[in-house]
């Protein structure tokens, strides 16, 4: 008589998945297997550990082991589940955007701290609602920085910019998911450069939206940012002035590409990773353009690559920037550079 195959249960499929991922050298293989099983079964971790003997149907097991094979072949877990948590919020991620990283949460912390300190200096002691604040996120990707700030500052207006139209589409969906669309605009722009209006315009005229694409969440090109509550231009040159500019620009050096994990090198968008041969090349333009678009007293918050500080900090010249500060991440790496426009 043929021996009967043991039924597939949660405990046995997890054990088999751990072994397959470990053999493939997948980092954090236990966590990856758990997340993929949660995804395949549409269950949370508590359920999985409370039901180790629960039988898994053949189609579910097939689906799960299909995901495990793709993970073993190098696809990031987040591309398989389509999501990543950041700042306590769940973000959709696709291969068009960088997967939000935990160290980027320091950008949010520094931005909120510096805004709060500014309020206190101005003698305002109300909880910070963001009333009247205009905040730009340059290189928004999934929208994680802009959306986390929009959630933390429920009355602020957010401008999410990216050179990648595909990334902006993901950011718009994330803004919809988190209910902040009514306070967000999405610009396709090379850093902040496309915010310049190519011709002077009257206070009530529209800036020429081309070549800059301006979108709201509904994905329709939206040609009138002035109707969105952006202040009218003082000079007739550009209507855009910000209280805070945050950015996590691409900062990996192409010469470091071989040192990246395969998940990153082969699956995350090059445009989100590489800042140039050295990595820090985009900061000079980003800082110069931020000086132009920040209001006096406006705050700049930049995420840094692990070795970017020596190249980037000197770009904050004392005639333009004050109160320069460096914040380390949990690994002790200088991760966020922030300053105030004088
Ligand atoms: C490191 S990712 C950061 C994404 C997201 N802000 C985050 O923190 O997860 C950099 C982002 O900048 C965008 N980017 C690259 N070059 C750019 C440029 N010249 N102007 C605007 N955005 C750019 C990329 O498309 C990518 O979405």
Residue of 96, 163, 290 best suited for mutating to test ligand 1, as the one with most atoms within 8 Å of CB = 163
Distance (angstroms) between ligand 1 centre and the Cα of 271 equals: 7
Gap between the Cα atoms of 76 and 60, Å rounded: 20
Whether the bond between 195 and the residue before it is cis, its omega within 30 degrees of 0, is no
Gap between the Cα atoms of 83 and 33, Å rounded: 15
* Share above pLDDT 90 across residues of the chain, in percent, rounded to a whole number: 80
Gap between the Cα atoms of 190 and 244, Å rounded: 18
Q: Using CA positions, which residue lies closest to atom 11 of ligand 1?
A: 139
User: In 3D, which of 298, 306, 240 has the Cα closest to residue 279?
Assistant: 306
Ligand 1, closest atom to CA 101?
9
- Provide CATH code, domain 86-341: 3.40.50.150
Ligand 1 binding pocket includes 147 (Cβ within 6 Å):
no
3-state secondary structure of 5: coil
Q: Tokens in use for 315?
A: 């770009």
Gap between the Cα atoms of 263 and 73, Å rounded: 9
For domain 10-78, which CATH number applies: 1.10.8.10, 3.20.20.60, 3.90.950.20, 3.40.640.10?
Answer: 1.10.8.10
Angle at 286 between CA 99 and CA 290, to 5 degrees: 115
Gap between the Cα atoms of 284 and 251, Å rounded: 12
φ and ψ of 268, to 5 deg: -95, 150
User: In 3D, which of 256, 242, 277, 225 has the Cα closest to residue 111?
Assistant: 242
Distance (angstroms) between ligand 1 centre and the Cα of 157 equals: 20
Distance of CA 64 to the CA centre of its chain: 28
Q: Tens place of pLDDT for every residue, the chain, 342 residues?
A: 666 777 899 999 999 999 999 999 999 999 999 999 999 999 999 999 999 999 999 999 999 999 999 999 999 999 999 999 999 999 999 999 999 999 999 999 999 999 999 988 888 877 789 999 999 999 999 999 999 999 999 999 999 999 999 999 999 999 999 999 999 998 889 999 987 754 333 333 334 443 345 566 654 444 444 334 444 444 444 568 999 999 999 999 999 999 999 999 999 999 999 999 999 999 999 999 999 999 999 999 999 999 999 999 999 999 999 999 999 999 999 999 999 999
* Structural domain spans, the chain: 10-78, 86-341
Who contacts 130 (Cβ-Cβ below 8 Å, separation ≥6)? 115, 149, 152, 153, 154, 155, 156
Q: Using CA positions, which residue lies closest to atom 2 of ligand 1?
A: 272
Who contacts 59 (Cβ-Cβ below 8 Å, separation ≥6)? none
SS (H, E, C) 164-226: CHHHHHHHHHHHHHCCCHHHEEEEECCCCHHHCCCCCCCCCCCCCCCCCEEECCCCCECCCHH
Pairing between β-strand 83-86 and β-strand 89-92 as defined by DSSP bridges:
antiparallel
3-state secondary structure of 162: strand
Max CA pair span of the chain = 89
User: In 3D, which of 212, 84, 80, 225 has the Cα closest to residue 142?
Assistant: 84
């Amino acid at each position: 008589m043929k021996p009967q195959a043991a039924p597939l249960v949660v405990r046995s499929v997890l054990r088999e998945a751990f072994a397959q991922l470990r053999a493939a050298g997948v980092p954090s293989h236990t966590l990856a297997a758990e997340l993929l099983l949660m995804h395949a079964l549409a269950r949370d971790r508590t359920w999985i550990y409370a039901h180790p003997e629960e039988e898994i149907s053949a189609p579910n097991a097939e689906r799960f082991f299909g995901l495990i094979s793709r993970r073993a072949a190098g696809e990031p877990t987040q591309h398989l589940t389509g999501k990543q948590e950041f700042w306590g919020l769940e973000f959709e991620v696709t291969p068009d955007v960088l997967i939000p990283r935990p160290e980027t949460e320091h950008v949010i912390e520094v931005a909120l701290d510096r805004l709060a300190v500014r309020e206190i200096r101005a003698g305002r002691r109300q909880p910070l609602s963001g009333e009247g604040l205009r905040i730009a996120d340059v290189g928004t990707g999934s929208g994680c920085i802009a959306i986390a700030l929009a959630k933390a500052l429920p009355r602020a207006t957010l401008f999410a910019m990216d050179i990648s139209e595909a990334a902006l589409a993901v950011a718009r969906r994330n803004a919809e998911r988190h209910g902040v669309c009514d306070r967000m605009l999405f610009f396709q722009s090379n850093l902040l450069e496309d915010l310049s209006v190519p011709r002077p315009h009257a206070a009530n005229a529209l800036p020429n939206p081309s070549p800059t694409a301006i979108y709201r969440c509904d994905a329709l090109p939206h040609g009138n940012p002035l109707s969105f509550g952006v202040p009218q231009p003082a000079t007739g040159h550009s209507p855009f002035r910000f209280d805070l500019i945050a950015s996590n620009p691409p900062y990996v050096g192409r010469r470091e590409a071989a040192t990246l994990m395969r998940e990153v090198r082969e699956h995350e968008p090059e445009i989100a990773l590489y800042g140039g041969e050295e990595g820090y090349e985009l900061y000079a333009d980003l800082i110069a353009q931020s000086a132009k678009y920040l209001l006096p007293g406006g705050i700049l918050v930049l995420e840094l690559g692990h070795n970017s500080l020596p190249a980037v900090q000197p770009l904050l010249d004392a005639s333009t920037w004050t109160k320069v500060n460096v914040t380390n991440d949990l690994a002790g790496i200088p991760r966020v550079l922030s300053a105030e426009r004088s």
